[in-house]
Structure 1
């Protein structure tokens, strides 16, 4: 960075213990949309392909990214999907029209392939059920197929299809974005709540220990936001474990405003948590329902709006293949900070999506898969899985806009400091008081920054924006460093065991 960039002092100190970062906060989402599955997860002809046809280089990057749970198969796609189309011999599977994204679905990748892919990637599967055009009977069929050991027509079909052991899927989404008029099977809150309650009650007769996610708002700008959650949860609170919510952030030309997107996410999660608390009090329920933020990301959908009116039905077209910038990566980092700050109420979060479609990983035929700019803050924050989360209080002057979350390992032997400078013009000279943690040394420090906030990574230049070493100083328990404008940093500090 330019040493002459104007800088402002920012003093930070741990302010409160929030809770433990559930490893499921570092989830992702794969939908049958564009090249997310075909050409992303599944590419039998690729040089890196496994015997199952999975892209090996994508699998390696998914492991490096630190993803813990993946939601599948949608998304809008699931509301018109019949899971039975995606099982059995591939040459006998039907080709269908997908009305959600106006594509042709070959069904060569389905439930069994997804669960097998999850085992390869080391992630937990999270299956979404079709409660759009589907019903409780179809949902129960998939549950029996996936989780029953054998001895019934559906479970024996799974065995015959090459999966002798039950898939044992624990996380189930009761539909997707039922509040949205764009959704196949869109309905009122009352109608959806009844459908979800009937399905949830039946699923619990199969296995009371399943974790069920009921649909909340698809965006905070929905006119029904808040009232939808209240009505749906009032009917289902004693049947479900998590309330879903979705939110996306857009750069609409005001970069300074875009960089403050995490402020909106803070308010959104606070509002959803308040609604859950209200319903729990009003119904006198003792059930501890948490938030499943199972779609979130930054997304510039201008190109999609231009293409969609001319779209024709085709297989695996290029849809929503966002090219992410440094500014996008800084926003993703701050959104992850917001999720950590709500670790007491958010149990699941899934960045949407994983590969090619608004994802941190990109893959082209015959070329090595590569990391988008947004890959790097996610991979850094995912290392905080299982940590105790400490919020920080800031004293800033001179135009600095620094944000910081500190997490402490279960044994207290190290802390991770995740920092961002959201200012477009002013560097931040950070002084972080870590004396409570008994810091001993800085083990690693990295900075994600480029002179141009619009810098991106491409297939030909995949390392244009990558983390680089960051100069730090640790004196008398205070960590000092400088963050240039529009930047992200992570510092690992070794602490005395049990320092907090």
Structure 2
């Protein structure tokens, strides 16, 4: 099977915002406790944070982590997580049916983020709380000194402000599972008032308004249009969330789900532009895809978990090879929409539907989805190229015209490298990719790395890594300078990164 693509330096979609490689830590399951934080662990530092986990996070080069939720945030009193740890209350978290000790709060998480070389995307509670609580947390986090909340922070030992610049106005407020969920009109009014006082407190912050919880919500589309009528002039991004599963064990259909993600992005961007036109505005509201992943493996096990215990093992999906392929297709989809998607968060980061897993008291390890995310984060920064592709397609139960190859390229002008990311969706055949390259001078292959396994259900564990990258040989570039042709063979059902060195003379 063959596919052809064109790489031209001038065929640009847009620049990647590094924040599309963000992730997410919620006070949910073992994400925090025995995930990033486990005092007494052999790898724990002086603050109780696991150094082995921090290393794995740093290896991903995650620029941003959304915190503290998620569904959790809609019942969260942020004040519970500040001040002396021994005086913090144990609360019932109604979102997940667990207990929350509040041993880790705003300031502790800020310490962890600094150690992990990442920034924090804060979420405010617009479920059980209001604009006043939202304003206060911005003052606590961002105001230097000389006010009640900033001086309270300083009394807690944090002299300098955290200066968090990106804030979510609630979470999934359209969902009936959400604590105090609202109609679009109700949410729009509350979000608008919160946005006003938050930006009055710190005009430098950016705000994310809640879009639909997923593209299959009955109010999808009308929700975005109605709530944006209230907040368009006050916010900078609209959120999108999506999770995919393979409940029916239909792998060809599963691998086509990223087409749904692409349509979701384009539809929400279109609605934003519709509201812009209605308001005769020059402002562009972009997108924050702040929850995305595969999530379904743990659904049945989670029903058996006892309620009202602290940090139970819930949402602990163990990802296999085909999940890594879907995650790779989703990453490529985000890159293809880099002109509008400026923030994205793989949900989540540790233990909870995560690329990183830990054993309490034991080791940490990488899931299959860790590798596509790492590849994209490390090599997918720069100018995303619009790459016309000719390839065979197939139909599945839910989708039509699914290309056997999902691919995109990113040109990093800083180091004159081109990274081609490609998923071969064909489960049985190699795919020969031929790419015509123009405008990049004399190109050379740096490496071709693949992730594949003949068993699509193969998964990693704390004891064994069955799914990991391998270096491929055979990728070659031929032709005259200025008109090169890359030939590379993609294994069946594989994630691939082909890195090229370009000799560009500006």
> TM-score by structure 1 length?
0.95
Match of 1:425 in 2: 428
Is the 2:21–2:63 contact (alpha carbons within 8 Å) kept by the matching residues of 1? yes
Task: Give the Cα–Cα distance (whole angstroms) in 2 for the partners of residues 357 and 390 of structure 1.
Answer: 33
Equivalent position SS for 1:163: coil
Match of 1:3 in 2: none
Match of 1:123 in 2: 118
Within 5 Å, which residues of 2 pair with 1:18-29? 18-29=13-24
After superposition, the C-alpha distances for 1:55-74 in whole angstroms (9 at most, x for unaligned) are 10111000111211000000
Task: Give the Cα–Cα distance (whole angstroms) in 1 for the partners of residues 151 and 392 of structure 2.
Answer: 66
Match of 1:198 in 2: 193
Match of 1:331 in 2: 326
1:297 aligns with 2:304: no
Task: Give the Cα–Cα distance (whole angstroms) in 1 for the partners of residues 477 and 85 of structure 2.
Answer: 59
Distance 1:364 1:297, change over 3 A: same
Equivalent position SS for 1:104: strand
Is the 2:29–2:312 contact (alpha carbons within 8 Å) kept by the matching residues of 1? yes
1:443 shift after superposition: 1.2
Distance 1:112 1:458, change over 3 A: same
Instruction: Tell me which stretches of 4 or more aligned residues in structure 1 moved more than 4 Å.
Output: 397-400
Aligned length: 490
Q: 2:441 aligns with which of 435, 438, 445?
A: 438
Equivalent position SS for 1:59: helix
1:386 shift after superposition: 3.8
For structure 1, the 5+ residue unaligned runs are 1-7
Equivalent position SS for 1:167: coil
Match of 1:280 in 2: 276
For structure 2, the 5+ residue unaligned runs are 395-402
Match of 1:466 in 2: 468
After superposition, the C-alpha distances for 1:374-404 in whole angstroms (9 at most, x for unaligned) are 0000110112454000122222249771121
Task: Give the Cα–Cα distance (whole angstroms) in 1 for the partners of residues 119 and 478 of structure 2.
Answer: 42
Task: Give the Cα–Cα distance (whole angstroms) in 1 for the partners of residues 504 and 441 of structure 2.
Answer: 8
1:182 shift after superposition: 0.2
Task: Give the Cα–Cα distance (whole angstroms) in 1 for the partners of residues 144 and 351 of structure 2.
Answer: 35
Match of 2:266 in 1: 270
Match of 1:360 in 2: 355
Q: 2:59 aligns with which of 57, 60, 64?
A: 64
Q: 2:488 aligns with which of 476, 481, 485?
A: 481
Is the 1:251–1:300 contact (alpha carbons within 8 Å) kept by the matching residues of 2? yes
1:439 shift after superposition: 4.2
Equivalent position SS for 2:37: coil
1:491 aligns with 2:504: no
Distance 1:182 1:305, change over 3 A: farther
Within 5 Å, which residues of 2 pair with 1:91-490? 91-252=86-247, 253-301=249-297, 303-305=298-300, 307-308=302-303, 311-397=306-392, 401-411=404-414, 413-461=416-464, 463-471=465-473, 472-476=475-479, 477-490=484-497
Task: Give the Cα–Cα distance (whole angstroms) in 2 for the partners of residues 255 and 70 of structure 1.
Answer: 31
Q: Greater shift after overlay, 156-165 or 27-36?
A: 156-165
Equivalent position SS for 1:47: coil
Distance 1:310 1:451, change over 3 A: closer
1:77 aligns with 2:72: yes
1:309 shift after superposition: 6.7
> TM-score by structure 2 length?
0.94
1:215 shift after superposition: 0.6
Q: Greater shift after overlay, 152-161 or 176-185?
A: 152-161
Task: Give the Cα–Cα distance (whole angstroms) in 2 for the partners of residues 240 and 356 of structure 1.
Answer: 32
Task: Give the Cα–Cα distance (whole angstroms) in 2 for the partners of residues 189 and 339 of structure 1.
Answer: 26
Match of 1:53 in 2: 48
